[in-house]
């Protein structure tokens, strides 16, 4: 059974892929709007040793996301929208199982239960969230066992937020981004897989 | 890392254990109120090939459960209470990771988010729900790949509902049970593990 995992190169989507690996043929897919920041995810995918693809999302999705961020004044609903469109794009590609690295305690990106039912029903697919039943402590323990990571606010990974921010800067300037996006939380990127 | 999984011998708790197995030292624990119906779970645990324990819950927990079922007129909150007390009992035993086979779309047994935070915070443990991110179709596909099961409304497994029902019959009679418990849904029990 083949599963495609939305992949950023960070610890959560990497752990999600590794949890699926004994049970599925796992492929990692990074969505972009055309920039080159998928190369970070590609390097992490190579470190993990799983097949890697990129999928370019349309300009309309970027525009819809930015509209939502401006409308609400914070990124949550715009990011949720891109995430949902990315899962829709994977599902449209014909895979029966799509997955991501969202955690039990995440708020965004996150689909609502009715969005999940709609995605699965319309597309005839199963959406899997391997980390949905794990809290932060258990995830951190598994990550320490399985990966060598780098962490910090300035770590680049491929989570489309960077592309959205730079597009907002292009259109509305630096100060608009500073107003809309809260302080950057720590990012992580997988550098090496530890053998168990 | 050792994890104890609340175990009934059915397909969900069996799949939950198997999903954890590549990452944890898994032990299966069946809770009882003193009856012998844990033997069904023991047979399933032997078929899966994982260590098996029983844990006897107190009479007070049974009484508290029956009080809740009578108070609400349906089993949900009583079953949730027993399930929470069973997780508390595992956590009190000193294991750092406790898990169960509850699914994404389950309503009962289910802890609320604040009950989860309380359990984890007071006990210093992590509560893991490996099936929390899986819908029914994906679970059914994995079960078919991994297990030979028997299914049907009359399948006995060790999910403490049978003990609670027979205790209510002893105290209040057959008709009270028929009023309180909806039609039995299909149960399953794992007979054999299929090698991948």
pLDDT in tens, chain A (196 residues): 999 999 999 999 999 999 999 999 999 999 999 888 899 999 999 999 999 999 999 999 999 999 999 999 999 999 999 999 999 999 999 899 999 999 999 988 999 999 999 999 999 999 999 999 999 999 999 999 999 999 887 776 667 888 999 999 999 999 999 999 877 667 899 999 998 7
Whether this model's pTM surpasses 0.90: yes
Interface test with B, best of A126, A130, A143 (most B CBs within 10 A): A126
CB within 8 Å: A138 and B116: no
- Per-residue pLDDT at B184: 66
The owner of tokens 């370019």 is: A56
**pLDDT at residue number B157:** 67
Length of chain A: 196
* Cross-chain Cβ contact A120/B137 below 8 Å: yes
B147-152 and B187-193 strand pairing: antiparallel
What pLDDT does B191 receive? 95
What pLDDT, on the 0 to 100 scale, is given for residue A158? 67
Distance, CA of A166 to CA of A75 (rounded, Å): 14
Find out whether B27 and B51 touch, Cβ atoms under 8 Å: yes
A4, A20, A23: best mutation site toward chain B, by most B Cβ within 10 Å? A23
Length of chain B: 196
Contacts of A123 (CB under 8 A, 6+ apart): A88, A91, A92
Whole-angstrom CA distances from B87 to B15, B32, B91, B99, B122 are 18, 13, 6, 8, 12
Q: Minimal Cα distance from A132: which residue of B?
A: B133
At B8-34, the pLDDT tens digits run 999 999 999 999 999 999 999 999 998
**Out of B22, B133, B145, closest to residue A130 by CB:** B133
- Measuring CA to CA, which residue among B78, B26, B27 is closest to residue B57? B78
C-alpha span between A146 and A44 (Å, rounded):
13
The pLDDT assigned to A161 comes to 85
Find which of A125, A133, A136 to mutate to test the B interface (most B CBs within 10 Å of its CB).
A133
Distance to chain B for A126, nearest Cα, Å: 6
Note whether A17 and A98 are within 8 A (CB).
Answer: no
For residue A142, give the chain B residue with the closest CA: B23
Whether A135 sits inside 8 A of B116 (CB atoms) is yes
Cα separation of A176 and A168, whole Å? 7
A133 to chain B, minimum CA–CA distance in Å?
4
Predicted local confidence at residue A184, as pLDDT: 66
Mean per-residue pLDDT pooled into runs of 10, chain B (196 residues): 96 98 98 90 97 96 97 95 97 95 93 97 97 98 97 74 91 93 80 90
Give B-chain residues touching A1 at CB under 8 angstroms: 141, 145
């Amino acid at each position: 059974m083949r599963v495609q995992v939305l992949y950023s190169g960070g610890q959560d989507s990497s752990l999600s892929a590794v949890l699926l690996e004994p049970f599925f043929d796992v492929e990692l897919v990074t969505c972009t709007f055309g920039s080159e920041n998928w190369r970070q995810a590609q390097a992490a995918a190579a470190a993990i040793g799983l097949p890697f693809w990129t999928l370019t999302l349309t300009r309309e999705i970027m525009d819809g996301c930015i509209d939502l961020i401006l409308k609400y004044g914070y990124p949550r609903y715009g990011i949720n929208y891109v995430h949902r469109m990315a899962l829709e794009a994977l599902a449209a590609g014909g895979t029966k199982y799509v997955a991501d690295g969202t955690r039990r305690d995440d708020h965004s990106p996150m689909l609502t239960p009715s969005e999940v039912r709609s995605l699965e029903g319309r597309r005839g697919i199963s959406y899997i969230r391997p980390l949905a039943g794990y809290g932060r402590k258990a995830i951190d323990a598994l990550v320490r066992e399985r990966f060598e990571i780098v962490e910090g606010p300035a770590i680049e990974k491929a989570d489309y937020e960077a592309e959205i921010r730079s597009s907002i800067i292009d259109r509305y300037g630096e100060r608009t981004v500073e107003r809309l996006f809260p302080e950057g939380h720590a990012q992580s990127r997988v550098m090496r897989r530890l053998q168990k």
